[in-house]
Chain A
Amino acid sequence: MAHRAKQGHPGGDMSCADILATLYFAVLRFDPAEPQAPTRDRFVMSKGHCTGAFYSALAGAGYFPEADLETYLQPGSQLNGHPNRNYLPGVETNTGPLGHGLPVAVGMAVAGQIDQADYRVFALTGDGELQEGSMWEAAMFAGHRRLGNLTVIIDRNRLQQGASTEDTNSLEPLADKWAAFGWDVAEIDGHDADALYAALSAPRGADGKPLCIIAHTIKGRGVSFMENQAGWHHGTPSDAQLAQAFAELDAELAA
């Protein structure tokens, strides 16, 4: 998609692809034919720039035809650089600027708590995104309200746009921070489907602590020349690079 559009955020798309796949194909309760059903689980893409992965998940889940993915970032497409709920079924809130998704997810969880509804709310954030103060406003309040219906997944690829998170404005000790804000914390391999499924699908108490899953990931996962390279935050693979990327991914699938 990034190759065709000649822009995009492939590094972050690939670090969260396994998380999104697990959510949409094994965990989330939803019906693409009724995207506004009150009982649906909510998913908020707080790292709204990673639409390559998000739109692929939504298409795969049946919200719109996979052929639409070919229009990604093209003039007039509904698949613009950051998701828009007014165009695209399955998008719960418009994100893009960092630090917005978690507060909105907290509001959804409060609504569910007031109604004693049984839906769950999931938010996927980047790790660099945790440098935004609004994330901690939301984290503090979720802990205070004991939003047991809320799960945040941190795509911990350790790279932000320009450099590593730890060299820029360090996040560690990250698990301790979330625990101190009143959350249960789990640390897993964010590319291990079994670990993801176990962490995301375990039943949660309605009035217990919210859950923070720190998913350790690799930016640009699956393509040797992209992995752990901050330069692939943005980026467009050349024809040759695209061919190599597909070859490597196909080889991994076949293995």
Chain B
Amino acid sequence: MSAASPGKGFDCRNAYVETLEVLAAEDPRIVAVVNDSVGSSKLNKFRDQFPERLVNVGIAEQNMVGVGAGLANGGKVPFVSGASCFLTGRALEQIKADIAYSNVNVKLCGISSGVAYGELGATHHSIEDLAWLRAMKGLTVIVPADPWETAEAIRWAAAHDGPVFIRISRMAVPALARPEGARFTPGKAEILREGDDIAIIACGTLVHRALDAAEALAAEGISARVLNMATVAPIDREAIVAAAGTGAIVTAEEHVVRGGLGGAVAEVVVEERPVPMRVLGFPGFLETGSAEWLFERHGLTPTGIAAAARELLEKRG
């Protein structure tokens, strides 16, 4: 299935820029701010269509985020885009003071997030960003799982008055099957598969892998619920409490195992309804290898997720 087919599927950056171009044509307040990342953010067409609305500050992420805050002060709706590792790491204090604490209408788009730059090594991986950003109250943190959700999140962010971080992957993902009339609701988990034995909560590139894991578990008679937790902050506490009702939770994310989606779910679980959990993610700074190789090596595959679910159920007895 999809997860076993690296290279096939959609690059969510395309959904991001195509949506932004449509929105910018309708709303003259929308501007894009970049750190020399026009190409890697795929904003060439945006620049050609709206040259005066593409603000390229050069290789200067602290200034980029500050400029974004200033543009919002001037009535613009800035989409500040850069490789997630530099946008969040280099400009973390600007995101804290100028964006989140100042509560301004800036949309931060972390491009090529997670381990997309696999072989380039840990400096270019962005697998600490969710922990850093979800600690900042008032900043909505969204990790879309496929092109549709990416486009919906961008549309919602443009209409929403307030700071938003959207984590955009460049790894190929399939378009998830959704019921007719499905809508993206920020702060609400999406139940993609019902199940009562265990719940798998995932975000971003792990969602389709979680669905494949649930399919494999079903063949063994294990009924796994799958939640797409696209909004990591503020988190959907109600959906987590309901998921805990199955008796066990596995979380899966393209992030270190400390402080990300798994941490956010665990915070709710220990307060509201303690059940055994397994948090799947990366252990820390990673070895050299392609993104797909790193996923395989650290069990972020349908097989790895299913195995973790099985072990958790055995342990629970």
Q: Is the CB of A92 within 8 A of B31?
A: no
Q: Could you give, for residues 81-124 of chain A, a 1 whenever the CB lies within 8 Å of some chain B CB and a 0 otherwise?
A: 00011100000111111011011111111111011010000000
With A104-B98, A110-B55 as known contacts, state yes or no: A93 contacts B103, CB within 8 Å.
no
Count of chain A residues with a beta carbon within 8 Å of a chain B beta carbon: 34
Q: Could you give, for residues 44-88 of chain B, a 1 whenever the CB lies within 8 Å of some chain A CB and a 0 otherwise?
A: 000000001101011010110111111111111010000000000
The smallest C-beta distance from B102 to any residue of chain A, in angstroms, reads 4
The smallest C-beta distance from A140 to any residue of chain B, in angstroms, reads 7
Give chain B interface residues in 135-160, CB to chain A under 8 Å. Answer: none
* Chain B residues with CB below 8 A from A42, complex form: 73
Q: Is the CB of B62 within 8 A of A133?
A: yes
The answer to the question of A225 belonging to the interface, with a C-beta cut-off of 8 Å to chain B, is: no
Contact of A107 among B60, B67, B101, B103 (CB under 8 A): B67
The answer to the question of B228 belonging to the interface, with a C-beta cut-off of 8 Å to chain A, is: no
Q: Is the CB of B62 within 8 A of A134?
A: yes
Q: Is the CB of B101 within 8 A of A94?
A: yes
* Chain B residues with CB below 8 A from A140, complex form: 58, 60
Q: Is the CB of A112 within 8 A of B74?
A: yes
The answer to the question of B93 belonging to the interface, with a C-beta cut-off of 8 Å to chain A, is: yes
Count of chain B residues with a beta carbon within 8 Å of a chain A beta carbon: 30
Give chain A interface residues in 68-85, CB to chain B under 8 Å. Answer: 84-85
Give chain B interface residues in 97-117, CB to chain A under 8 Å. Answer: 97-98, 101-104
Give Cα A97 to B97, complex, Å: 8
Dominant SS among interface residues on chain B: helix
The answer to the question of A65 belonging to the interface, with a C-beta cut-off of 8 Å to chain B, is: no
Give Cα A136 to B106, complex, Å: 23
Q: Is the CB of A94 within 8 A of B73?
A: no
The answer to the question of B126 belonging to the interface, with a C-beta cut-off of 8 Å to chain A, is: no
* Chain B residues with CB below 8 A from A106, complex form: 63, 66-67, 70
Q: Is the CB of B31 within 8 A of A114?
A: yes
* Chain B residues with CB below 8 A from A114, complex form: 31, 52-53, 74, 76
Q: From A134, which residue of chain B is reached at the shortest CB distance?
A: B62
Contact of B69 among A93, A115, A133, A144 (CB under 8 A): A93
Give Cα A103 to B65, complex, Å: 8
* Chain A residues with CB below 8 A from B231, complex form: none
Q: Is the CB of B63 within 8 A of A93?
A: no
The answer to the question of B205 belonging to the interface, with a C-beta cut-off of 8 Å to chain A, is: no
Contact of B66 among A117, A133, A138 (CB under 8 A): A138
Q: Is the CB of A137 within 8 A of B62?
A: yes
* Chain B residues with CB below 8 A from A144, complex form: 58
Contact of A38 among B31, B52, B67, B75 (CB under 8 A): B75
With A85-B102, A86-B103, A103-B67 as known contacts, state yes or no: A108 contacts B97, CB within 8 Å.
no
The answer to the question of A141 belonging to the interface, with a C-beta cut-off of 8 Å to chain B, is: yes
* Chain A residues with CB below 8 A from B102, complex form: 85-86, 93-94
* Chain B residues with CB below 8 A from A103, complex form: 62-63, 65-67, 69-70, 94, 98
* Chain A residues with CB below 8 A from B74, complex form: 107-108, 110-112, 114-115, 117
Give Cα A112 to B62, complex, Å: 21
* Chain A residues with CB below 8 A from B55, complex form: 110
* Chain A residues with CB below 8 A from B67, complex form: 103-104, 106-107, 110, 138, 141
Give Cα A112 to B53, complex, Å: 12
The smallest C-beta distance from B285 to any residue of chain A, in angstroms, reads 25
Give Cα A38 to B73, complex, Å: 9
* Chain B residues with CB below 8 A from A97, complex form: 93, 97
The smallest C-beta distance from A99 to any residue of chain B, in angstroms, reads 7
The smallest C-beta distance from A129 to any residue of chain B, in angstroms, reads 13
Give Cα A249 to B270, complex, Å: 60
With A93-B102, A94-B101, A115-B74 as known contacts, state yes or no: A104 contacts B69, CB within 8 Å.
yes
B-side residues, CB < 8 A to A, are 31, 52-53, 55, 57-58, 60, 62-63, 65-76, 78, 93-94, 97-98, 101-104
* A-B CB proximity, top 3 nearest: A107-B70, A111-B74, A103-B66
Q: List 17 A-B contacts (CB under 8 A).
A: A85-B103, A95-B97, A100-B97, A100-B98, A102-B66, A103-B69, A103-B70, A103-B98, A104-B70, A105-B70, A108-B70, A109-B70, A111-B73, A111-B75, A114-B52, A114-B53, A137-B63
Q: A103-B70, A106-B67, A111-B76 are in contact. List 4 more A-B contacts (CB 8 A).
A: A84-B101, A103-B94, A105-B70, A111-B70
